[in-house]
Structure 1
């Protein structure tokens, strides 16, 4: 059924998100008893239709990777809109035990990995729908304990961010003009980031790269500062020139950057699914993708200033662990690394202060410092880090 033809008023409805024509035959073979099936192009259209037309949705099946917009981010949107809690299923290409744990603790009822089996989908979906009233109250998420920001930290965040936005408004205008004069494209952009408790939110920055920067990642992969084994890897390995299987099925990138009416890919999804020996982070010294103005605003951390708005609305704090791109966060779901997500997401943090200007930093060092901050986070320690941040900004290293 098309999303433009909604289910019979009050009829139990199963919402299919993002499938379009993918796996239509398999889903058609499923017997969902008296439930009607409605297709939605994406999660936001489903949420809007659910709210505006009072559809009786009893289950959601979304074709999306766990960390993509129609995965955990959609779960968060449903919670914010205070829509009814119903069984939520994901159909994914990429999967591992750690992602399964993350999905289930976030509120996803079950995950189906491609290739799909109609009988399994039919059995699981019907069972959970029929027994949902008894099962939903027994679901107790086992997530790492989240650090409570506290009244003092939140008050300081709002006061400091508001004051900074007011006094820095002339600087915002100057940077706006400089970026516009040097290169075509939007001045601000946002991408999706995983912050405290793997919460996904919009992360704002000044644009410091050329708009087509993502297209050059595959050509610069061997320069990755975090990949200590890069020299021994076969740099001639063929990298997919088009979308990965997930993005190809959707007809668009699942990890985009957004700015005005422009959208471009943040990271080729296939890179995110490399063997675990690959680095979770991507960083290059003297990165040629960066504009001249971008190089200046990065070295002075001016490109981070729009995140003050993230602080005002509560997505981030002034001090905390850096929120990560989704393709990086999905590689850090093991017990060894998950602790970093228990701390507040922040603009500046321990690893920026401790390592800036002191040479290269390995991935393990960065994660160790993130975990250390999470263990020792307090308002007093945050103030100490803020006092150390200013001299750290004067270092000459390109970071």
Structure 2
């Protein structure tokens, strides 16, 4: 691991810009060949990567990291294979660069085409999820962007092993290895300096907890695409199928509680609450989920922890869930729009009109009817992987694949025209 100075960071920024120029000139065949080689090399170097990850896991346990967060950090052969397959899927995707959005001829006989081009150098600053190193590098590369990565100290050994593998693959493919760079200095001071590299980074994408993302947004001088914080809700409507609702809620909460698309809050219509909540509570507790609830929930289910106002805002990332009872769908929508983080929300209902009202009126990047919020994922959406889940409204919203890592350029052809 390296202690960096401001001069080192500037050199890395300059190297990234040089690499990005080469990347922007590569054809689809060259990029796809390199992506497939990166995938193969990840699997070939699995032992080295897993040894590095084991060091991170041992450090995490010694430092008292929560088990749910250790799951984010963990790599195994299946997860390495999954990352490699993600790169192969990215290679199989349509190349977004050069895609024409629209074209027309003006009254001055100028032919104008709006086409897709890379964003440039993309900085990604993230917490203890080493898979982000590979996903981000692969998506940036497919869209012709250089990736400037800074992971958390918890995953530094894993990230170094992964980044070194990718950089070696690039060099062996005769492509500038600085297309992917990792900050090995995980100090807060260097992170702050990275966030100020506006002369070299075209955009900065933070991935992590809501608190972490807010910190980056408040401190960065580089333009931000805000991602990730997931205070996700599932509303169980009066017309819900109970078995369907229980299955979806358990999946959304228990499968991977540490991720941003896990459900954190359940909102239940008062007409079904007395019949629905006891069985749900039984199944949640059987899966070691702590239940917090409002006064109505406390009356229906024994030994529920009273929910506070802070609970409604909190993204737990743990085996904890809070439940609210409402009188109707309008109150449910108002409650969710007040407390959510604009990530993913779901309604469980067999009523077509209620489902469509929920989708229309909920303010979030992804709104489901009768499905788990866990599907909000670039891979599940068919993007191969994702750079993050954008929860803002400018440029991109929702799972961000390679196509979302582009901007546009206008190409104008004339024949001697001048403006009069």
Q: Same fold (TM over 0.5)?
A: no
TM range (shorter): under 0.3
- When Rg is computed on C-alpha atoms for both structures, the one with the higher figure is 2
